[in-house]
Chains A and B, each alone.
Chain A
Amino acid sequence: MVVGAIGLVYGFIAAPDTIEDVKEMMAADAHDGPEEVAVLENDAHLANPEPTEGHDATVGEAGHDNEHYEHILHQLQNKPWAAVYIAAFFFFMIALGTMAFYALQQASQAGWSPVLFRVMDGITAYLLPGSIIMFILLALSGFHFNHLFTWMDPEVVAHDELIQNKTAYLNVPFLLIRAAIYIAGWNIFRYLIRRNSLRLDEATDDRLHKTNFKLAAGFLVFFLVTESMMSWDWIMSVDPHWFSTLFGWYVFSSLIVSAVTMIALVSIYLKSRGYLEYVNDSHIHDLAKYMFGFSIFWAYLWFSQYMLIWYSNIPEEVTYFITRIEDYNLPFFGMVVLNFVFPVLLLMNSDYKRINLFVIISGIIILCGHYLDIFVMIMPATVGESWFIGIPEISALLLFSGLFVFVVFRGLTKAPLLPKRNPFIEESKHFHY
């Protein structure tokens, strides 16, 4: 109760700071954003309406140095949109991954994590706004406000037999219906589990715990299917000519590792402010182990996808990596270093996993790495070789991180940070490794 009250006060102190940051950022960004988009829309009509890999770049190459700034604007047709899309997806996926991790802990009846459940609850508070933002972005693409998805452009589809064959799946109404189903499903599960968990605090028996157990198991089944389809719909379809079977898993690994990292960072922060009485370094150690393990899992899937395609070198598949290696060499291989080499070396030592500083450093590295991961998934298909991590990217990232922090910490104030009647809470309080 006391913890919750302090958390509430804290939440209101912390929230304005971040929002102001965000507003400043938005104000700074507002000058660039709309202009760019306006110019770009014109350009889309004049030039080729097909902003696929490298295409708009060649259109841009015709222009010359004097109008260098405008020239860049030409190339950056999709840039602000893609920047927003990437940042929105990145934070949305953290909330979704946290929900999956939370359901996993409930369904596996983990004895160590119940003291962290409310932290996870707080992070999943972003699921609803985050998924609505994603849906709006998809709808805006669907209504041709941007050209993130080539297959949404009827003219492109008319000349593209490969996409024509996929229109049964890749069409705007069906995409939006699917997105609505995923989003509704995730949020309903999240709402029910959260509600039951809060009611369990007041209850006299453990019936709601069982309900939550079943709900969590149901969510995991639903999540596995929808996450896979979500990754095809929202990410893989920016490259409608390309497909990969383990893509859904690959996106999942990225999602779960950033979620665990976020749980660890938020827990360490709340602990350092004295709101999590029962969280000790063993809990952090466990989270760090998950960060370590899932980082390796991510690298495994990244490499499996990369090596299989590199090895067989089939033209229709390999273009995906050729554009990435040629145009995105540093981010493409840099993220492997960030997401694999650093976490492995930093978090291998058992003692380091208990030191907050190490967990925070590697957490920040992992989050940066996975932002880059999403960046390299989306950008090559939408802006091609004229990518740059500049004002739109960073400000979109700041906007959504501000929103994320605001929603999460507001979510954390809504309930006491220690579940009262969870059957495993005593075990979790005394957990040590």
Chain B
Amino acid sequence: MASKVIHAIYTDDDLLLQAVKQVRNARYHISEIYSPFPVHGLDKAMGLEPTRLAIASFIYGVIGLIVSIIMMNYMMIEDWPQNIGGKPSFSFVQNSPAFVPIIFELTVFFAAHLMVITFYMRSKLWPYKAAENPDVRTTDDHFLMEIDVASHSVEELSKFLYDTGALEIKLIEN
């Protein structure tokens, strides 16, 4: 089924924020906004849910912590507890200060890298990915708001968008 969307282009981020608020108040559905740079407060204005990336990162950090502890406990204490320079290898706790730098680094490593990979996966980013850019100017100095037409009247919607300060309004059928 062919769906129609309207692309409204703005040139000012303040105007865009105002427009987003008006569009949401009028109960039109914004499907996407393209912006050349992060606009402060845009996610709040759009009503997007806060990211859970930090929680994921915390969990990855805990995993890294556990991995490093298990690894060193197995290697240094259980598998072959040598006497290396008089360090007490009888139990993990006794030798733990020497392990802390590695524990710390692996925690950070896991937290950082897995979080970044999660970010790439969730936002579908990878090399050779085809760019999904509806208008090249949005990477430079224009802002584009994509609105579902759904069952609204195109006339009315474009009039409304024109009043919010849109510079260009395009009807896209796909």
Contacts and interface: CB of A to CB of B under 8 A. Distances in A.
Q: Report whether chain A binds chain B.
A: yes
Given A348-B58, A350-B54, A311 B86 contact: no
A307 B97 contact: yes
Nearest to B54: A350
Contacts of A311: 97-98
Nearest to A350: B54
Contacts of A313: 86
Nearest to A351: B50
Interface in A308-350: 310-311, 313, 348, 350
B100 interface: yes
A311 B101 CA distance: 12
Interface string B72-116: 000000000000001000000000011010000000000000000
B84 to A, nearest CB: 12
A310 B97 contact: yes
A303 B103 CA distance: 13
B139 to A, nearest CB: 28
Contacts of A307: 97-98, 100
A402 to B, nearest CB: 39
Nearest to A300: B104
B91 to A, nearest CB: 15
Contacts of A303: 97, 100
A311 B88 CA distance: 11
Contacts of A350: 54
A313 B100 CA distance: 17
A306 interface: yes
Interface string A345-364: 00010100000000000000
A306 B97 contact: yes
B86 to A, nearest CB: 7
Contacts of B58: 348
A303 B86 CA distance: 20
A315 B158 CA distance: 82
A64 to B, nearest CB: 36
A290 B125 CA distance: 34
A431 to B, nearest CB: 14
A350 B97 CA distance: 30
A353 to B, nearest CB: 13
A306 B97 CA distance: 8
A293 to B, nearest CB: 15
B26 to A, nearest CB: 27
Contacts of A306: 97
A271 to B, nearest CB: 24
Q: Most chain-A Cβ atoms within 10 A of its Cβ — which of B54, B58, B97, B100?
A: B97
A11 to B, nearest CB: 40
Nearest to B55: A349
Interface string A52-90: 000000000000000000000000000000000000000
B162 to A, nearest CB: 33
Contacts of A348: 58
Interface string A284-307: 000000000000000000010011
12 contacts: A303-B97, A303-B100, A306-B97, A307-B97, A307-B98, A307-B100, A310-B97, A311-B97, A311-B98, A313-B86, A348-B58, A350-B54
Interface of B: 54, 58, 86, 97-98, 100
**Ordered nearest first, which 9 A-B pairs have the shortest CB separation?**
A307-B97, A310-B97, A311-B98, A303-B100, A307-B100, A306-B97, A311-B97, A348-B58, A313-B86
Interface of A: 303, 306-307, 310-311, 313, 348, 350
Given A311-B97, A348-B58, 8 more contacts: A303-B97, A303-B100, A306-B97, A307-B97, A307-B98, A307-B100, A311-B98, A313-B86
